[in-house]
Structure formats: C-alpha cells, structure tokens
A and B are shown apart, each in its own frame.
Chain A
C-alpha cells in the first residue's frame, strides 16, 4: 500500500508505545490515519465522541499540511503516535507530524479567516484549524529551516 510507506512500532517500555510512519500526502493516507486513530483512542479508553474529535483533529491537520503546505502536490510527511502514560497532563495520546514544506504558512495566519458562527467567515482551512484548537489539549507548530513540526496531544477526560 502506497499510503503507509514505512511503519514501525516500539513498545518495549510498557509505559510508552510508539508507531511511526512515513506518509505521502495523498488521499489514501486519510483512511490509514483514521484507522490508526480508532485503534489508539480505543487503547486510551476514549468514548466514541472523543474518538471522533481526535479523528477530526488528525484529519484536519493532515489536510491542512497537504493543501496549504504542499499545495495539493505529493509530499513527504512523517507521522508518529504514542500513548504516554506519564505525560505532563497525565495519560496522553500524542500525535506528531513533520512536513518538509517550504511555503511560509502558519496556522495562526490561516485561522484569522474563521471567526465564530458567521457563515460568511467560514473557509475550510480556517475552520479546520479552529476545530483542532477546540478539541486538542495541546496543539503546537514548530517552524524549522526545512519545514514544520506539529504536535497534538489529547487527554482522557472525566468519566471516560
């Protein structure tokens, strides 16, 4: 399958299990990432609503990198996910993306297009990044000389 070109798992330490993949930003990868999210959120003990929110955030981030970073062209994205039993906010589900885009875009710039409930203000990119910030416990972008590193974290809440 071209979508998941290279994957590896590490779980020797029972506290941290990591899945890493190198992806090409094409449509098949969305389905692959969705499957990974289903497995990881189940292992985290998240309820269906929370699992859908995690899937939404991962989907939106990947789509934004593909659309804004790579402008719809094929491009390399490194993906890593892990459950950290002892994260800074307790048990955490972590997703890291690394892109190699050269375009000068940041999520803050895109986000200025989306502002609340006024339909005229809605643009897909802006709304997507707004949704990520709504559902993720942590969402960070680190700009690098040759691309970006993106970090998403989700915690288990309340009665889950």
Chain B
C-alpha cells in the first residue's frame, strides 16, 4: 500500500505532516523524504499526525528517530500525534515511547 501525505505549513514556523497508510521497509523512504523536506532551519515545530497509520515496522520507527534527531539538532520540536494503538505498542516495545514527544489528539 502506498503511503499518502498531507502537509500543512503555518506562517509561524510550524508544520504538520499527516501520514496515511502502513509504514514499512518499502514505504518508510517516502516518509523520510517528506520529513527531510519539512525539517528546514525556519521550521521550529513539526507535528507528525499518525492517526491513520495502523502498522509501522522498525524502519518506520528508525525514520521517526531520524526526524527527531534532525529536529533536535536545529533546536526544534518534533511531535507525534494521534497514535494508533498498534504504533504506540511498537514504540513501547522499542522502549522509545518516552523518547518522543507524544500528543493524544491528531489536531
């Protein structure tokens, strides 16, 4: 299944990326591309909306970790929002749920 994205940027340096579909070893490079395009110096907050992602494997988790690293390196905030139970469970299994800034609502 192809990943779909809806990207919104606001004038105050915030951006949101809605991800739709499964994030796997075959689709995570697309997610990486989208995140890389958002994480530019004038963006101080990126919210990744994951309410419509029902399955994510380790390559997806690694991609989110990469986004978190990029964001931290530029002093920005990287937020995961509206996680599906399955994705929250995988983050917990990887012991990364406390590493990410996670919001309940998808905004």
Residues 24 to 58 of chain A near chain B (Cβ within 8 Å): 27, 30-31, 34, 48-49, 52-53, 55-56
Q: How many angstroms between the C-alpha atoms of A125 and B90 in the bound complex?
A: 15
Inter-chain contact total with CB atoms closer than 8 Å:
70
**How many of chain B's residues have a CB under 8 angstroms from any CB in A?**
23
Q: List residues of chain A with CB within 8 A of the CB of B9.
A: none
Q: How many angstroms between the C-alpha atoms of A31 and B24 in the bound complex?
A: 10
Q: How many angstroms between the C-alpha atoms of A48 and B86 in the bound complex?
A: 8
Would you give the shortest CB distance from B56 to chain A, in whole angstroms? Answer: 9
Q: List residues of chain B with CB within 8 A of the CB of A117.
A: 94-96, 98-99
**Interface size band for A:** 20 to 34
Q: Which residues on A are within 8 Å of B, measured CB to CB?
A: 27, 30-31, 34, 48-49, 52-53, 55-56, 59-60, 63, 66-67, 116-117, 119-120, 122-125, 127-128, 130-131, 134-135
**Additional A-B contacts beyond A52-B86, A127-B58, A127-B61 (17; CB < 8 A):** A30-B24, A48-B86, A49-B85, A49-B86, A52-B89, A52-B90, A53-B89, A59-B24, A59-B25, A60-B58, A63-B25, A117-B95, A120-B69, A123-B62, A128-B58, A131-B58, A131-B90
